[in-house]
């Protein structure tokens, strides 16, 4: 029985103060459920609306390439500075301490190392995402690839159905192939395909006229880092993306292959969250390295 000792009647009911209607701070999210919003709010900082995601999922296709040789040594020390960790279930379980309490964006499709091709029609069991307490799941979409576009969209579609069932946001990752033109027309199409098929977050690449890509995508976009650039160029990339409407970055090699990865992720965070210019970001990087 509840403790009935000294029960005090409520007095202050705020009559005359209407209950405030709350609008969610990320675009395209107003009509999604509470659990999905809560997970989105774990990924995108509520004070800035932005996210610095650390991507180390590429080992599933590329193996222990530079920066990923030892997740415990290369990635774990960076985790405190990331807003979200993007990895595969094997590496998350084996190498990431659960006590970090960092949101996970879980890679939910799989690939083969041959030509780094996606292994279509194989996606994660959503129950495993729940077991891992994933804050989001990510699948790749190969827009415009004749042989594989439909299969990757089917993967996304299935994952969105699962994600909707349990309130787990889905990230659509737009692929870039050798034959694909990296321009705003292509990335707008690919991003929009992800969003229209139900993705709550889109990961795509920065390009000229990027504001067209973000403007025409109804959900938050984060940019991929791509191949390692000199630090100032990677900071410029992050700066340009945020200025052109991105809600964050999801960078891998530009962090983990830096000479000072911990300094680099903090400098990127300064650009994304604190409005540092690339030059100020570089100063921060140099101070911390
Ligand atoms: C590709 C991905 C990976 O996360 C990405 O390739 C790794 O990040 P980066 O390109 O910044 O090194 O989304 O499926």
pLDDT of residue 115: 56
Catalytically active residues are 203
Identify the pLDDT of residue 274. Answer: 98
The alpha carbon of 86 and the centre of ligand 1 are apart by a number of angstroms equal to 9
Rounded-to-integer distance, Cα 204 and Cα 223, Å: 5
pLDDT in tens, 154-174: 999 999 999 999 999 999 999
3-state class (DSSP) for residue 163:
helix
Question: In ligand 1, which atom is closest to the CA atom of 55?
Answer: 4
Query: Which residues, listed in sequence order, are joined to residue 137 by a DSSP beta bridge?
Result: 106, 170
Pocket of ligand 1 (CB under 6 A): 55, 57-58, 86, 140, 173, 203, 224-226, 251-254
Report the predicted TM-score, pTM, of the whole model to 2 decimal places: 0.95
The ranges of the chain with pLDDT < 70 are 113-120, 178
**Rounded Cα gap, residues 192 and 196, in angstroms:** 6
Q: How far apart are the first and last CA of the chain?
A: 59
Q: Whose CA is nearest to atom 7 of ligand 1?
A: 252
Among 58, 139, 228, the mutation site with the greatest number of ligand 1 atoms within 8 A of its Cβ is: 58
Distance 226 CA to ligand 1 centre (A): 6
The residue among 225, 278, 249 whose CA lies nearest residue 43 is 249
Domains of the chain, start order: 34-232+244-258 (3.20.20.70)
């Amino acid at each position: 029985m509840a403790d009935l000792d000294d029960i005090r009647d409520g007095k202050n009911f705020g009559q005359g103060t209407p209950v405030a209607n709350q609008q969610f701070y990320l675009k395209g999210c107003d009509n999604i459920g509470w659990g999905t919003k809560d997970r989105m709010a774990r990924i995108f900082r509520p004070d800035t609306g932005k996210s610095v995601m650390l991507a180390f999922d590429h080992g599933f296709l590329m193996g222990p390439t530079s920066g990923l040789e030892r997740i415990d040594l290369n990635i774990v020390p960076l985790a405190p500075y990331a807003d979200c960790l993007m990895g595969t279930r094997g590496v998350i379980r084996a190498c990431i301490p659960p006590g970090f309490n960092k949101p996970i964006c879980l890679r939910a499709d799989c690939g083969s190392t041959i030509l780094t091709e996606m292994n279509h029609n194989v996606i994660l069991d959503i129950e495993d995402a729940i077991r891992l307490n994933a804050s989001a799941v990510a699948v790749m979409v190969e827009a415009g690839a004749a042989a594989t576009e439909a299969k990757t969209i089917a993967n996304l579609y299935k994952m969105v159905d699962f994600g909707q069932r349990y309130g787990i946001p889905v990230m659509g990752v737009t692929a870039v192939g050798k034959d694909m033109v990296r321009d705003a027309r292509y990335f707008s199409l690919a991003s929009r395909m992800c969003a229209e098929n139900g993705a709550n977050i889109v990961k795509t690449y920065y390009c000229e006229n990027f504001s067209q890509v973000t403007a025409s995508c109804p959900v938050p976009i984060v940019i991929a880092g791509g191949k390692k650039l000199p630090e100032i160029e990677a900071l410029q990339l992050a700066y340009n993306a945020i200025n052109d409407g991105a809600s964050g970055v999801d960078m891998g090699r530009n962090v983990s292959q830096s000479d000072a990865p911990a300094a680099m992720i903090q400098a990127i965070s300064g650009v994304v969250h604190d409005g540092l210019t690339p030059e100020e970001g570089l100063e921060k990087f140099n101070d911390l390295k």
